[in-house]
Structure 1
Amino acid sequence: MDIFITIVLATALLIATITDLRSQKIYNWLTFPLILSGLVVHSIHSGLDGLLLSAAGFALGLILMVIPFFLGSMGAGDVKLMAGIGAWLGVNATFTAFLFTCLAGGVYALVILARRRDVLKAVLANIWGTFLRLTATKKYDYSPIETEQTMPRLCYGVAIAIGTVGAMILNFTQTGSVIIP
């Protein structure tokens, strides 16, 4: 079953990456079938245990990504993509994929910022100003320095794809399976 999961997720992640880079969207026609098929395949393959594994992974992927969505830093397509990944990988592998995604997203953001030095300077000034206010007042008060520069939009589907593939490789090398039950 691991090869089937790998093929499905590799295909979905490739499509999500392409559509995210082209139009900055991850479409419902990709994410909803990914979620539903993960639940169905695991149910058929392993019965109630498979359904529970898949549903728990779906819930974790959704919860981890919906918080940044509500804060305005994540798109709904990204949330649904991680939920779909969770439906296929289960809880443990989804959490690993999320951690790898965060690392990949951080590196991706730094690369984008390095290409826009004016924005990078504004970000660093905001971080430094927040740090100085925190040390002087012992209170966290984020008051960003106003700048004419707009933040570049990140295609986070790229980071999700990299993080998920990294987690699948790590899980496979450690356990011989892409899913950690």
Structure 2
Amino acid sequence: MSNGLEIILLFLVCQAAATDLAWRRIPNVLVLAGLLLALALHWRQGGSGALLGQALAGGAVGLLLFLPLYALGGMAAGDVKLMAMAGSFVGPAQALQLCVLSALAGGVLALAWLALARWRGAVGEGMPYAVAIAVGTIATIALAHR
């Protein structure tokens, strides 16, 4: 993945995390614009369509791995759509890595969120999972550059 794609992806997931923290929502326009941008840029970079296929496969990996968590009520639809968008930037292999790292970050953040909620006496408030996806994305990109 090129540095330009990485910068765009980092901007998008950080914006999603900020809006999820502030309003507990991930705007559909942000996710859709990111998805279309990823597909267009991959199509533009790979003349034969191979990169476009990688983008579609990465989006499918992100969607299919997080969809069961949505179906079980463990996360919101915006989080699933955000993961599909992020996967479309990185391709299927890195999308799998991104999902695992986001899940690990989500576990750590959930423990901290529960401790904070208990301390504040506000248990029951949902955690903004886009923050975990942003952390997982940052870790995935950092690991690609080591």
TM-score scaled by structure 2? 0.92
- Equivalent position amino acid for 1:29 in 2: V
The equivalent residue for 1:160 is 133
The equivalent residue for 2:56 is 55
Instruction: Give unmatched runs, 5+ long, in structure 1.
Output: 119-148, 174-181
Quote how far apart the aligned CAs of 1:116 are.
3.7
**Contact 1:20 1:157 survives alignment (8 Å):** yes
Cα displacement string for residues 128-166 of structure 1 (whole angstroms, at most 9, x for unaligned residues): xxxxxxxxxxxxxxxxxxxxx852310000000001110
Quote how far apart the aligned CAs of 1:79 are.
0.8
Cα distance in 2 for partners of 1:29, 1:55 equals 19
The equivalent residue for 2:25 is 25
What secondary structure does 2:73 align onto? coil
Instruction: Give unmatched runs, 5+ long, in structure 2.
Output: none
Aligned residues: 143
Q: Does 1:13 align with 2:7?
A: no
Quote how far apart the aligned CAs of 1:94 are.
0.9
The equivalent residue for 1:129 is none
**Contact 2:117 2:123 survives alignment (8 Å):** no
Identity of aligned residues (%): 36
Cα distance in 2 for partners of 1:21, 1:115 equals 14
Cα distance in 1 for partners of 2:3, 2:141 equals 11
**Contact 1:112 1:152 survives alignment (8 Å):** no
The equivalent residue for 1:171 is 144
**Contact 1:56 1:90 survives alignment (8 Å):** yes
Cα distance in 2 for partners of 1:51, 1:62 equals 17
Structure label with greater radius of gyration: 1
What are the equivalent positions in structure 2 for 1:1-181 lying under 5 Å apart? 2-47=2-47, 48-117=49-118, 150-173=123-146
Cα distance in 1 for partners of 2:42, 2:116 equals 43
RMSD: 1.5
